[in-house]
Amino acid sequence: MGRCYTRVVAALFMGIDGGGTRTRAVVCGTDLVVTGRGTAGPSNASRGSLAHVMEVVHEAIDDALSAAGVEQGEVHRICCGVAGVDATGLRDRLQRGLEKIFGYGRIQVTSDAQIALAGATHGPVDSPAVVLIAGTGAIAFGRNAKGDEARAGGWGPLLGDEGSGYAIAREGLMVVVRELDGRGPATLLRTSVLSSEGVGSPAELLQKLYRADGGPSELAAFFPLVLEAARQGDERCRQIFRRAGEELGLAISTVVRKLGMEETAFFVATVGGVFTVGELILDPIRSVLGPVAPAARVGPAAYPPEIGAVRIAIAADAEPCAT
């Protein structure tokens, strides 16, 4: 006889998306209808200590539980996807730490890329697809029909994150300081940067960016200003977005080649604030990806990453039973 599966239909599940700007948590049933949401600050493991990541994740979970009006013990399984857990080697330590709080066998720690991929399509949680994340950081991650997985990018602000909000903002500010020095032409971005909150002069810009508690998210906050200048026709800012899109297209193409998906039809799900830009960044992505994988389709993910995490938790709850 074939295998059968049991599932606690009325069970509640939690999904957590820990990123470089904020951490989101949701409480859902198996129907994926959210009954409670929680938020907290950034929890990227490559930019904070284990203790900090645990504190932020715990805060987001408590916030979501409170909003849902349920107790911790009422949640059947939890999946927590955190940026940087693989690069820093903190996945196992974070798993053990959270298990001490939420119970053994109830929580699964994975990467932000894994939960984003789980939310890429409406199909099964392990469907072949590629997810492209571009928020404060950037990474492409994919799975083929055989279950092989591959990534490109995700190396953090010191070594990579090309195409991310951080990288775009950094290039924009470099354009501004080149103008201030007289090393580059005028840009519409100068006025908006030097009149932004907390910045009234070049000296104050330096103080804001180089203060001890600053970081990539502080710099990425200038992303909307670069976007506005680009939309107003500033050619240097438009070039920044063109290069960013080409880098993101290269990241997808690299994953596609690694997985041998060039001749197959698959979906590339976009996740992250960078994609609010629209065609300004999607056009160069498609121009790079098209010759490599002409049957690929690019568009928004079916579910946000935190719901992808819930889908992983639900899938893990389906256990074979004896027949």
For the domain covering 130-300, report its CATH number: 3.30.420.40
Q: Distance between terminal CA atoms of the chain?
A: 7
Run means of pLDDT, 10 residues per run, the chain, 323 residues: 47 89 90 92 80 89 91 88 81 86 84 91 90 90 93 82 91 89 84 79 79 71 91 92 96 96 94 91 95 94 93 79 41
* 82 neighbors 94 (Cβ within 8 angstroms): yes
Residues of the chain with CATH 3.30.420.40: 4-119+304-321, 130-300
* 235 contacts: CB under 8 Å, gap ≥ 6: none
Measured torsion, CA atoms of residues 282, 288, 292, 297, in degrees rounded to the nearest 10: 0
Tell me how far CA of residue 243 lies from CA of 35, 61, 85, 156, 162, in angstroms: 40, 37, 28, 18, 9
H or E stretch covering 205: helix 202-210
Question: What does the pLDDT read at residue 323?
Answer: 40
CA 312 from chain centre, in angstroms, equals 16
* 34 neighbors 27 (Cβ within 8 angstroms): yes
Alpha-carbon distance of 244 to 282, in angstroms, equals 10
Question: What does the pLDDT read at residue 54?
Answer: 87
Question: What does the pLDDT read at residue 213?
Answer: 63
In this prediction the pTM is 0.83
Question: What does the pLDDT read at residue 34?
Answer: 93
For the domain covering 4-119+304-321, report its CATH number: 3.30.420.40
* 135 neighbors 272 (Cβ within 8 angstroms): yes
